[in-house]
Structures are given as C-alpha cells and as structure tokens.
Amino acid sequence: MKLLDIANELNIELSIDLDIESIDTLKDATSNQLSFLDNKKYLEQLQNTNAGAVLVHKDFEQYVPENTVALVCDEPYLSLAYASKLFAPNVVETQGNEPIIGKNCTIMDNVNIGFNSIIGDNSTVMSGAFIGDNVTIGENCIVYPNVIIYRDCIVGNDVTIHAGTVIGSDGFGFATTKDGQHIKIYQNGNVTIGNNVEIGSNCTIDRAAFASTTIEDMVRIDNLVHIAHNCRIGHGSILVTQTGLSGSTILNEYVVMAGQTGTTGHLEIAAFTTISARGVVSKSITEPKKQWAGFPLVEHRTWMKLQGKIQRLLKS
C-alpha cells in the first residue's frame, strides 16, 4: 500500500509517500514496513528502528529516526488496529493453484486442502482435517482427525499433530477505545513449526500479529496447551498439559513447563529452565539450568522449604 493511503484511512495528515508492504515491531521492521510506539519503555527501539514509518504520539515524535516517517496520532495502538485491517489477507482464497501432494501420501476422505498448499512425501492427513490456503506441510508428517491448520502456516518434516488441535487461529489482540469498544488487531502473521515436533490433542497455537509464532525443532507439546501470538518455543522444549503462554513469550532451548504452568507476556525464559507444576512466570528468567515453583515464583528448593514451614505453623 501507499503510505499516503494508509494515512488517509487513519485521518493523519501527511505529505511524504512510500510503499508499505506490511506491519512489524520497531525492532524487526524494515524500510518498507510500518511500526508503532505505544509504550515509552520501547523508546530505545524507536530511536534505532529501521521502519519506513511509525505511528507515534506527538510527545515522542522527536525520537523518530531521520529516515523514518512519523505518523503522529493521539492513540498509536488504536491506529495500529485500524491499519492492521488494511493488510489482512482474504479469509479464504477463491482461486489459485491446486494443492501439490507428494509421493506415497495418504489423504483420507473429508479432508480440505486449500489453494497453493503443499504436502510433502509420505505424509498422512486423516478425515476431518482442514488445511487452509498457502499451507506447507513437510515430509513424513501425521495430521490426525479434525486438525485445523489456518492459511499461510508452515509445518516442517516428521511432525505429528494430534486430533482437534488448531494451528494458526487468531491471536487475542484488541485495542480499546475511550468509550470501551474493543477494536480487533488483525493477526496477519503465521505459525512456523520446525522438524521432529509432536503436538498433542486439542492444543491451540495462535498465529502472530505480524511475523511468526515459532515452534522450533524437537519440541514436545502435551494435550490442552495454549500458545499465544508471537511466542517462540526453543529447540527441545517440553510443554505439559494445560500450560498457557501469553503473547510474545520466548522459551530458550530445553525449557520444561510442567502441568498448569503459565507466563505473563513479553518475557524470556533461560535455557534448561524447569517451571514446576502450577508455577507462574511473571518476569524474565535470565539464569539457566534452574528449577522454579509457585506464585510469586521462587526457586524450587526455597518453595519446598516454605511449604514445610507453613505445615509446621499449622500443626503448632
């Protein structure tokens, strides 16, 4: 789209024009992308952004780099929501290339495979599965009944997805107006799944608002797990049943999230960390190879001592 057209849709006055292909974060945006600043804690990222244009409040206009166009508005996050709709793809395609099915595949009855999709050799897709448009599934994959993979998602080789799981549903993103209306932020990214991954039944992995929600190689995900938009699950990590990750959570390699654990959003967990059952991570964990428990989260050994002291107090 033309930047002038975007500005016109958002009722922002602008005289400079350039081509904008998509929306991304301040950190990752390039010269043909639009970004935004809504929280001053990302001010440093604004000062160093390579974005072609940025939605920004007038109080922070002075920090916009010389080569970036400032789109000055009162509510940048709300403007982002309106702008995201301009880049949303079709819900379904009505025309395109017929799907490409590899050698020795088994595609059972009552399976939908969308336009421009590819399924690699020796893969199996069972009855009731829905594979959207522009989806790529690698070799030696098993997609069990009633799995749904939304458009544009990418699945690697040797991946197993169990029944009822949904890959690529919309992330939960809304901007709220001053009078309380919740305006949808269109989720225009995708989900990318690496090689040798197993995903249990009835899981949901949300597509990214922009860029990708990423599941790296060798990850194991139990049943009933929710992974929100723009998360990254590191190599070899394990997520046990009823784990819930909020948006933009980063797990480094070989993290273990035990049953009913969770995170708040926009945090990072160090490699080889274990979160014990029902633990809640509310801030980043920077030191690797430790086990944590409880809420507020403490080291597991400390949590065990604390529980022992509480039991003794009850007996006294």
Name the band, by pLDDT with cuts 50, 70 and 90, for residue 93: very high
Per-residue confidence (pLDDT) for residue 311, from 0 to 100: 87
Name the band, by pLDDT with cuts 50, 70 and 90, for residue 312: confident
Catalytic residues: 229
Task: Give the mean model confidence (pLDDT) for residues 71-88.
Answer: 97
* 199 three-class SS: strand
- The number of C-alpha atoms within 13 Å of 259 and in the hemisphere containing its C-beta is 2
Which residues touch 158 (CB under 8 Å, ≥6 apart)?
138, 139, 140, 141, 195, 196, 197
pTM to 2 decimals? 0.94
pLDDT above 70 covers what percent of the chain? 100
The Cα 195–Cα 227 span in angstroms is: 18
Q: What is the pLDDT of residues 158-198, one digit of tens each?
A: 999 999 999 999 999 999 999 999 999 999 999 999 999 99
Kindly tell me if the per-residue pLDDT of 133 is higher than 90.
Answer: yes
Task: Give the mean model confidence (pLDDT) for residues 285-307.
Answer: 94
What is the pLDDT of the chain when averaged over all its residues? 96
Is residue 284 within 8 Å of 267, Cβ to Cβ? yes
Domains of the chain: 3-86 (3.40.1390.10), 100-301 (2.160.10.10)
Per-residue confidence (pLDDT) for residue 177, from 0 to 100: 96
Task: Give the mean model confidence (pLDDT) for residues 55-83.
Answer: 96
Task: Give the mean model confidence (pLDDT) for residues 29-41.
Answer: 94
Q: What is the pLDDT of residues 217-265, one digit of tens each?
A: 999 999 999 999 999 999 999 999 999 999 999 999 999 999 999 999 9
